[in-house]
Amino acid sequence: CPRAETNFSLSRRFGATSSMSASSSSSAVAVEKTSVDFASAFCRGILCNWLVCMAVWMATSANDNDIASKAIGVWFPISGFAAMGFDHSVANMFLIPFGMFPGAEISIADMIFKNIIPVTIGNIIAGAVVFGGSYSYLYGALGGHTKD
């Protein structure tokens, strides 16, 4: 894609990508995310989306008039999944191509079959079963609770 090559060369010319450590670290992240086996990527997807669901739950349960409490409620779980290296399919749709752009030896098929598919399945299991199912069992119809 000539436009992408032009944008990359312009950004390098003006210093946006002049640090080799930044491009090598983004490549290393992309390679690491596509190097794990299916089960590991699946489990990392479950753990990640459990934290994402927790962030959404904490933000929606915070006081509607207090944006700071909503921001803090989101910040801790999202920072946690990023710091622990868990995988979220949508975040990886940015991070892996971002690492491929400076030269990581990863194909589109590697990205899809070694990361996006197992992580997406894990994200769905976490959102629907682990978080949604347990919440419904504890407080909703699955646990036999009725509205008063």
- pLDDT for position 25: 86
Segment 66-76 mean pLDDT: 90
**Amino acid letter, 129:** V
> Does the pLDDT of residue 89 top 50, yes or no?
yes
CA dihedral 79, 84, 89, 92 (to 10 degrees): 90
For 129, how many CA atoms within 13 A lie in the half-sphere containing its CB? 8
- pLDDT for position 139: 84
3 against 112, higher pLDDT: 112
78 against 135, higher pLDDT: 78
Query: Poorest-confidence range of 17-31, 70-84, 91-105?
Result: 17-31
Question: What percentage of the chain has pLDDT greater than the value 70?
Answer: 84
Segment 53-80 mean pLDDT: 89
pLDDT tens, position by position, 2-56: 444 444 443 444 444 444 455 678 899 999 999 999 999 999 999 999 999 999 9
Segment 63-77 mean pLDDT: 88
